[in-house]
Amino acid sequence: MIVVLVQNLHLTNILNCRQVKHLQRFLMLQAFSGIIFFPLVNLIFWHSNPPHLCRRIKRYEIESFIKKELHYVVVFCYTFTMKILNGVTNFFTIYKSLYTFLALVTVFAGLSYALAFGGDESNITGGLLLVQFSPSVAAIITKLIYDRNIRGLGWGWGKTKYQIVSWVLPLILTSIGFGLIWLFSFGGFYNTDFILEAQNNLADKLGLDISSPYIIMLVLILVNSTIGLFASFGSLGEEIGWRGFLVPELYKHFSYTKTSFISGVIWVTYHIPILVLLIAPRLEASVWPLLLFTMIGGIGISFILAWLRLRSGSLWTAVIFHAALNMHLQGFFMNLTTETSNLTRYISGEQGLMMAIVMVIAGYLFWRKRSLLKL
């Protein structure tokens, strides 16, 4: 840029006085327009106006000047293009395992969703089970491609205290969320039909004759917290991919905050077809509020799960948390709550506003403990 300004100042010495002010406007424009724009301005200016402004400039000086300007443009364009290409190449080289994993998840989950919702309703259960295991299959294939093994997914148990936190915390969070729902009458407590059905099941399958509805509730919570975790084995299929592979891989390149946020957005996006094609129609609710609340709550949960995974070094913290959360939400609290108005379907439930708020607050508390994580 300095070279061109010097050239222009040299040219001003051979212009007459009436032309200097006009030329100065172009010099100021060059000073602020940068490397891409000012050579083009010079080219247009000197090429389109030589009869009027450049009568005292020799022809070969104009041609030489234009050639130099074109040279600067060509060199810059070449350098800029090469930098862009090198940047893109390096970008995909650095994040190649992440892109491979996400591409595989997209393919496997897409095919599984097509199986679940593209045919008879009898295919939904099997198709959704395949959807749940798509992240784990993608993670294992990606590890085999780049590392030739499946180590580093967090197979170790880690410290038991983190597993206990993962086991107890979902019950605490769901109890707070639904307690507020019942307190503010966004949903009714309790569903007598659900309790009656549970009473019959406990009597038939476990031989327990319990008449008190509150004792039945405590027994259901205990069952969901123990035997029920094995019934929610689909959480293992998800967490091998999401927290076993994705979170540690993201953490190699990003901070805990970015890792939690990115993994949360990806995790929720993966669930969108279920929400749109299954949950919203069953609730007879508008899908957009549910999408918003699910995204907010999912990101909040991701801050919790990422912290537990990175702090403990164990995949099983995420598996236990995910399984316990599913059992308490889907297997107990949502069934225990009755609908009091149209707001119930938007505020109550797994995709409701109340649980989203509770999860964001819990995620924020874990975020404040981010300094305990290893860099």
User: What does the domain layout of the chain look like in residue ranges?
Assistant: 2-89, 157-372
Q: Which residue has the higher pLDDT, 93 or 247?
A: 247
User: For 23-32, 76-85, 293-302, which range has the lowest pLDDT when averaged over its residues?
Assistant: 23-32
Categorize the per-residue pLDDT at 9 as very low, low, confident or very high, splitting at 50, 70 and 90: very low
d(CA 43, CA 46) in angstroms, rounded, equals 6
Q: Report the share of the chain in percent with pLDDT over 90.
A: 63
- Helix (H) / strand (E) element for 188: namely strand 188-189
**Token pair belonging to 8:** 């222009």
Cis peptide before 256 (omega within 30 of 0): no
In angstroms and rounded to an integer, the radius of gyration of the C-alpha atoms of the chain is 32
Comparing CA positions, the residue from 267, 365, 254 lying closest to residue 308 is 365
What CA–CA distances, in Å, run from 306 to 1, 248, 328?
49, 9, 21
d(CA 313, CA 375) in angstroms, rounded, equals 13
Buried b (16+ CB within 10 A) or exposed e, 59-83: eeeeeebeeebeebbeeeeeeeeee
d(CA 142, CA 241) in angstroms, rounded, equals 10
Q: For 48-74, how does the pLDDT look when each residue is reduced to its tens digit (9 = 90+)?
A: 555 554 444 545 555 666 666 666 667
User: For 51-65, 122-136, 211-225, 281-295, which range has the lowest pLDDT when averaged over its residues?
Assistant: 51-65
**Token pair belonging to 7:** 């050239």
d(CA 285, CA 345) in angstroms, rounded, equals 7
**Token pair belonging to 301:** 């949960």
Q: For 143-199, how does the pLDDT look when each residue is reduced to its tens digit (9 = 90+)?
A: 999 999 999 999 999 999 999 999 999 999 999 999 999 999 999 998 999 999 999
Q: Give me the mean pLDDT over the 88-108 stretch.
A: 83
pLDDT of residue 88: 55
pLDDT of residue 372: 93
